């Protein structure tokens, strides 16, 4: 998958499949399963590092994890979140940091939160030949201003303005997070670049989920938009419990696991 291929998928009406990954193992599994893109999300701050928000993860940590994902990926487009305060100061800061991400990790594109207010930065990155995915709607890096991580954004005019501004500035795609289905459908039909939904209904041009949520590995997070495709958390618990029981009862290792 390439950036032009991403754009061509929308034109052809082919839904785009996106998942997050944070290391080579999971990235390789998702890549082999045929996802179109892997997002190295700043959600690693929460689901990997154990923080309450996405704010603490650093640029160096994002680059490190992006490199792991790239090494595990053969076909999917790898997109890396620009973490909090790595682009907000201005376009020159964003160019320098996005350049580091692509040079040091080998990823293809970056993602940043914002529309109208980040249009100048999106344009500066695009002019520098750095592919940019925008992110409008509920923006997790704005959690302090929003007062929570799960606030549905309903301001139609602002959402449309953000999407238009991102497209006009040169973004190749836009994530739409936690917005009403009708508004997401309107945006998707109006703009020429792909929309990737999370909590934005089925009318987007593609969908993204946090992989560890989708696989049932996380606990205590059950938003309406999330579908858990398996319960790996319980599977892992059961496997570890069986292993511990075998070790404590001396059933493992057995003769078949021992060297002569």
- Quick one: pLDDT band at residue 10, thresholds 50, 70, 90? very high
8 Å CB contact between 71 and 24: yes
Assess whether pLDDT exceeds 80 at residue 138: yes
Cβ neighbors of 144 (< 8 A, separation 6 or more) are: 55
Assess whether pLDDT exceeds 90 at residue 147: no
Question: Of the candidates 18, 32, 16, 20, which has an alpha carbon nearest to the alpha carbon of residue 72?
Answer: 32
What's the pLDDT score for residue 146?
85
- Quick one: pLDDT band at residue 23, thresholds 50, 70, 90? very high
Assess whether pLDDT exceeds 90 at residue 239: yes
What's the pLDDT score for residue 117?
97
Domain spans of the chain, in order of start: 3-249
pLDDT tens digit sequence for 38-68: 999 999 999 999 999 999 999 999 999 999 9
8 Å CB contact between 153 and 115: no
- Quick one: pLDDT band at residue 148, thresholds 50, 70, 90? confident
What's the pLDDT score for residue 102?
98
- Quick one: pLDDT band at residue 20, thresholds 50, 70, 90? very high
- Quick one: pLDDT band at residue 241, thresholds 50, 70, 90? very high
What's the pLDDT score for residue 254?
95
Beta bridge partners of 110: 80, 132
The set of catalytic residues is: 177
Question: Of the candidates 130, 188, 169, 178, which has an alpha carbon nearest to the alpha carbon of residue 10?
Answer: 188
Cβ neighbors of 156 (< 8 A, separation 6 or more) are: 183, 186
Assess whether pLDDT exceeds 90 at residue 149: no
Rounded Cα gap, residues 13 and 251, in angstroms = 55
Helix (H, G, I), strand (E, B) or coil at 219: coil
What global pTM score does this model have?
Answer: 0.97
Rounded Cα gap, residues 63 and 60, in angstroms = 5
Of residues 254 and 149, the one with the higher pLDDT is: 254
Chain centre distance of CA 133: 10
**What does pLDDT average to over the chain?**
97
Question: Of the candidates 180, 205, 144, 202, which has an alpha carbon nearest to the alpha carbon of residue 18?
Answer: 205
Q: How many CB atoms lie within 10 A of CB 132?
A: 29
Q: Give mean pLDDT, residues 155-175.
A: 98
pLDDT tens digit sequence for 200-223: 999 999 999 999 999 999 998 899
Chain centre distance of CA 233: 21
8 Å CB contact between 113 and 142: yes
- Quick one: pLDDT band at residue 151, thresholds 50, 70, 90? confident
Q: Which helix (H) or strand (E) holds 103?
A: helix 91-105
Assess whether pLDDT exceeds 80 at residue 9: yes
Q: Give mean pLDDT, residues 223-239.
A: 97
Apex 139 CA angle, 46 and 127, nearest 5:
110
Rounded Cα gap, residues 184 and 203, in angstroms = 7
Q: Which helix (H) or strand (E) holds 180?
A: none
Q: What top-level class would CATH report for the domain 3-249? A: alpha beta
Rounded Cα gap, residues 68 and 204, in angstroms = 29
């Amino acid at each position: 998958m390439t950036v032009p291929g991403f754009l061509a998928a929308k034109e052809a009406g082919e839904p785009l499949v996106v998942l997050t990954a944070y290391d080579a193992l999971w990235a390789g599994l998702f890549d082999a399963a045929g996802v179109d893109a892997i997002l190295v999300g700043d959600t690693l701050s929460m689901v990997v590092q154990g923080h309450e928000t996405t704010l603490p993860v650093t640029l160096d940590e994002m680059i490190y994890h992006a490199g792991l994902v790239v090494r595990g990926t053969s076909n999917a487009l790898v997109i890396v979140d620009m973490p909090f305060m790595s682009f907000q100061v201005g376009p020159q800061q964003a160019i320098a940091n996005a350049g580091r991400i692509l040079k040091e990790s080998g990823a293809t594109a970056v993602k940043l939160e914002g529309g109208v207010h980040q249009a100048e930065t999106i344009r500066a990155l695009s002019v520098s030949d750095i592919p940019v995915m925008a992110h409008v709607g509920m923006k997790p890096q704005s959690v302090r201003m929003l007062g929570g991580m799960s606030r549905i954004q309903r301001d139609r005019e602002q959402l449309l303005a953000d999407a238009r501004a991102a497209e006009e500035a040169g973004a190749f795609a836009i994530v739409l997070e936690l917005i009403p289905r009708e508004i997401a459908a309107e945006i998707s039909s109006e703009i020429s670049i792909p929309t990737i939904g999370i909590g934005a209904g089925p009318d987007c041009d593609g969908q993204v989920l946090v992989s560890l949520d989708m696989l049932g590995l996380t606990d205590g997070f059950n938003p309406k938009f999330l579908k858990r495709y398996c319960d790996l958390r319980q599977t892992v618990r059961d496997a570890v419990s069986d292993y511990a029981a075998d070790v404590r009862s001396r059933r493992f290792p057995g003769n078949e696991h021992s060297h002569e």
